[in-house]
Structure 1
Amino acid sequence: MAREYSLDNIRAFHAQVSIANWDKPGEIMRYAFLRMPEFFHHAVIERDGPVSVLASEPDDALPGTRVRTPLGEMALDAYVQRGPVNGVVIVRNGVVVYERYPRMRPNDRHLLMSVSKVFASALVAIFEDRGLLDTALGIETYLPEVSASGWAGVSIRDVLDMASGIDCDQTLPDVYTNSDRAYYRFEESLDWLPPVHPPVAHWEYLAELGRAKQPGLAFDYSSANTAMLAWLVEKISGKGLADLISAELWGRIGAEGDALITISSHGATAIHGGISARLRDVARFGLLFTPSWQVVSDTPIVSERHLAAIQHGGRPEIFDKGATGQRIIDQLAPATPRHNSYQWDFVMPDGDFYKGGYGGQGLYISPSRDLVIAFTGTNDADGNESGMMSIAQQISARSG
């Protein structure tokens, strides 16, 4: 288990951490990811009701399970201890069967980075189930503010699937350092990167974006899509995103603790990557997509329609047309993902699906095996990210 940070540690990190380096590899990154409120403003995603009990019955076989890792083939436990992994929770049939915290404490609220994105898509699906929106329609139907931008004519479904064609490429190597890049300005408007341009509200910047290509042609990863989904549900509901997540998701799963989400000086929440939460609570959220949802909720929150849209509604023909899909294919080999959907990075032929986040965050779900694997990490000093994405897929495939 991670050690406590001493007063000297705290002061030393605060002397080093800045908006320019808080997410750079090494110990600074781990400290920042575990203690985001010390560096950013946050909105609270409140929990509610009694805590849902997650029974613990360790599977004695899991620690010694051999897996392929970036460090070579080794036992799962060995990699979790040696690799850049901060925490892992595996839940099978609603029961915790493996839990390790090599570089964090169980109650730490760890930054989830892009795992945050599927909270936005879950809200969209809930609104869709209630007939409050139609994902086949152009997003400007509900957000007329973007009618003169590159978003005009882009279906909500294309936004959900990162196929909007919007001109805000996140995969270019210099997007976090070149202030001329559209994506730099995207994060700058959320107070996540050093300010260079005159201040602009996040939603105003989104409404300025142009189009790079026709929608529906390629899986082109950009967090701008997620921001549009957040704006969409906020506009329809008239509520702030943190309150929406609390009312529709977090407050309904018996979470142990409140979650947090960074919020800009203009009041825009960073749903693309800004949620911090306890790892067990992330696993609770994951259970909503499994047959064991009743462990955490009295009523189903993820509908059969939503689950089917994730598992079967994607478009394999666009998955490898962008840089992200091809990278995932390479990292999962010899396993072969089928498509992406509803902000989930990939869906396997067996219906498993996964969302990852920078630094080694991940949520892997196998509805057919009633399995959830949630993990956190931070890149080591050499920039290496954990191999837990592939390891989670291997563990699931061996679970029968």
Structure 2
Amino acid sequence: MQPPPIDWREAGLGSGADVPEDRRVTGANWRTWPFNRWAFQHTRQLVPSVSLEGAETAAPLAERPADLSALRFAGEDGATIDWEAYVASTYTDAMIVLHRGAVVYETYRNGMTAATPHHLFSITKSIVGVVAETLIADGTVSEALATEDAVPELGMSAFAGTTLRQLIDMTDGIAFNEDYADLASDVHRYSASYWTPEAAPDGTLPVLAALDRRDAPPGTAFRYRTPIADAAAWVLRRATGRTLAGLVAERVWKPAGCGDAAHFLLDTGGHEIAGSGLNATARDLARLAQFLMAGGPVAETLIGGGDRALFAAGAANMRPDHSYRGFWWVNHAPPRALMAMGVYGQRLHIEPGNDLAIIRLASTPLPSNMASDPLHVRAFKALRDHLR
């Protein structure tokens, strides 16, 4: 089992001059342990950002606290643990369990509060996916829209010949190495367009335009890669003439009743980062979950899932019985679930059939979530059985 999370206040982490230099969070270290413990709740102090407009009045969240102390399941080392040990040992910053329209469990750790926006990493992609699906559902944008027609700058790149649907389902075929453990991988070079103006001063678009390799023809293979979300965002911006923050506010945040403080981090060119830039509260993610569980054409499209054969061929070892649709992971094994996930422990897990949603915000030492997946699966199963 992992040790309990550190207290960033006791550790002296922060960005102020009163913090010792070796413990000071900077633009260079904020995504690494232990500096991320403070940084993921304070990104506006570290990276340029723009506010995300929400509902004038946040949608109410009913509360019906449940006693989870009796839950028991196997921990990471095989020993039996209880719910509190699970929450404490997984570097939790915030967690909400929403069941049958009410919050049955809510906790904040590591200095976080209900009003604190937290960095969501790739949960951002899934929210951009909801925007895309709403635009497709009402006919504003066609899912067959060619990437190069919307964004001519990508016409000479490997994105030529791809469509919006292929982008948001990640079946576009663009070659890209997203291995975070490999410091020489494409993802680390690409992220310079997010965080390093001296290396990539004009943001994501020129870097996307320089991607010139495919490892499969468009529409024939699934592979998960972060820059595809940024490419899709450029298609949506150009097709609608709107900023990404404006589209998220209009199409998702306001309709879902999300009303807490939220913001998008900006790339080095001053545009919202679609692959990893949204910061929001756990409560607003609970409101988003309620919005999706209420149904409608977008929710039905997402829960229906993507091409399972393409997913199985490209990611069977990653998550069996899954597919990918509209930037959401879909678990087809009962109970069917929609999942939005971000590195360093961010999870939005929705089971419409059980009227259940689990929101986890965290700041783990390692970026990848794959090693902790089995533990979360066991914890969520124990919780689901208990709430029944």
TM-score bin (small chain): 0.7 to 0.9
Q: Pick the aligned partner of 2:146 from 138, 153, 157.
A: 138
The equivalent of 1:202 in structure 2 is 204
Specify the SS of the correspondent of 1:209.
coil
- Report if aligned partners of 1:169, 1:221 keep a CA contact under 8 Å in 2: no
Shift of 1:185: 3.3
Partner of 2:253: 250
In structure 1, the residue matched to 2:287 is 284
Equivalent residue number for residue 160 of structure 1: 168
Percent same amino acid among aligned pairs?
A: 24
Q: Say whether 1:17 aligns with 2:21.
A: no
Q: Quote the residue 1:371 is aligned against.
A: 356
Give the TM-score of the pair, scaled to structure 2: 0.87
Structure 1 match to 2:264: 261
Map of 1:298 onto structure 2 = none
Query: Which whole-Å CA distance do the structure 1 matches of 2:150 and 2:164 have between them?
Result: 10
Q: Look up the equivalent residue of 2:319 and give its one-letter code.
A: I
The one-letter code of the counterpart of 1:87 is A
| 1:125 corresponds to 2:140 | no
- Aligned partner of 1:67 in structure 2 is 73
C-alpha contact 2:53 2:262 (8 A) present in aligned 1? yes
Pick from 300, 313, 328 the counterpart of residue 319 of structure 2: 328
Whole-Å separation in 2 of the counterparts to 1:379 and 1:219: 27
TM superposition shift of 1:389:
4.0
What is the identity, as a one-letter code, of the residue corresponding to 2:329?
Answer: D
**Residue identity opposite 2:201 in structure 1:** P
Counterpart-to-counterpart distance in 1, 2:366 and 2:142? 45
| Distance in structure 1 (CA, Å) of the matches to 2:247 and 2:159 | 24
Q: CA RMSD in A?
A: 2.8
Q: C-alpha deviations, 1:346-399, integer Å up to 9, x for none?
A: 322343111111010000011111111111111148999755642464257535
> Are 1:349 and 2:333 matched, yes or no?
yes
1:362 maps onto 2:362 in alignment: no
Name the CA distance, whole Å, in 2 between partners of 1:394 and 1:89.
Answer: 16
Letter in 2 for 1:378: S
Counterpart of 1:50 in structure 2 is: 57
Distance 2:236 2:203 in 1: 18
Mapping for residues 298-317 of structure 1, pairs under 5 Å: 303-304=296-297, 306-317=298-309
Give 1:213 deviation, angstroms: 2.1
CA distance in 2, matches of 1:101, 1:367: 25
Kept in 1: contact 2:159–2:174 (CA 8 A):
yes
Deviation at 1:13, TM superposition (A): 7.0
Report the secondary structure of 1:225's partner residue.
helix
**Aligned counterpart in structure 2 of residue 235 of structure 1, from 222, 228, 238:** 238
Deviation of the 1:59 alpha carbon: 1.6
Does the 8 A contact of 1:344 with 1:355 survive in 2? yes
CA contact (8 A) 2:56 2:259 kept: no
Contact between 1:25 and 1:379, CA under 8 Å: does it hold in 2? yes
1:184 is aligned, of 188, 192, 208, to 188
AA aligned opposite 2:234: W
Task: Report Cα offsets for 1:174-222 as digits up to 9, x if no partner.
Answer: 2xx33xx54333211122xx46746333112212212232223332111
Deviation at residue 57 of structure 1 after TM alignment: 0.6
1:328 corresponds to which letter in structure 2?
A: R
* Counterpart-to-counterpart distance in 2, 1:213 and 1:341: 18
Name the count of aligned residue pairs. 373
**Alignment partner of 1:31 out of 17, 33, 38:** 38
Matched to 2:166, the amino acid is: D
Q: Could you tell me which amino acid in structure 2 is paired with residue 357 of structure 1?
A: G
1:216 to 1:389, Cα distance in 2 relative to 1, 3 A: farther
Which shows bigger deviation, 43-52 or 345-354?
Answer: 345-354
CA distance in 2, matches of 1:2, 1:255: 30
**In structure 1, C-alpha distance between the alignment counterparts of 2:156 and 2:366, rounded to whole Å:** 44
Query: Is the Cα–Cα contact under 8 Å of residues 13 and 31 in structure 1 kept in the other structure?
Result: no
CA distance in 1, matches of 2:30, 2:223: 26
The structure-2 alpha-carbon separation of the partners of 1:223 and 1:8, relative to structure 1 and needing over 3 Å to count, comes to closer
How far apart are 1:31 and its partner, in Å?
0.6
| TM-score, normalised by the number of residues in structure 1 | 0.84
Deviations 1:278-300, CA, capped at 9 Å, x for gaps: 11111111111113xxxxxxxxx
Q: Which amino acid in the other structure matches residue 289 of structure 1?
A: L
- Pick one of 91, 94, 116 that aligns with 1:87: 94
Question: Which of 295, 310, 313 lines up with 1:318 in the alignment?
Answer: 310
Could you say if the C-alpha distance between residues 134 and 173 of structure 1 is closer, same or farther in structure 2, counting changes exceeding 3 Å? same
CA contact (8 A) 2:122 2:341 kept: yes
Are the equivalent residues in 1 in contact too, given 2:93–2:362 (CA < 8 A)?
yes
CA positional deviation for 1:96: 0.3
Amino acid of the structure 1 residue aligned with 2:289: G
| Pairing of 1:214-225 with structure 2 (within 5 A) | 214-225=217-228
SS in 2 for 1:113: coil
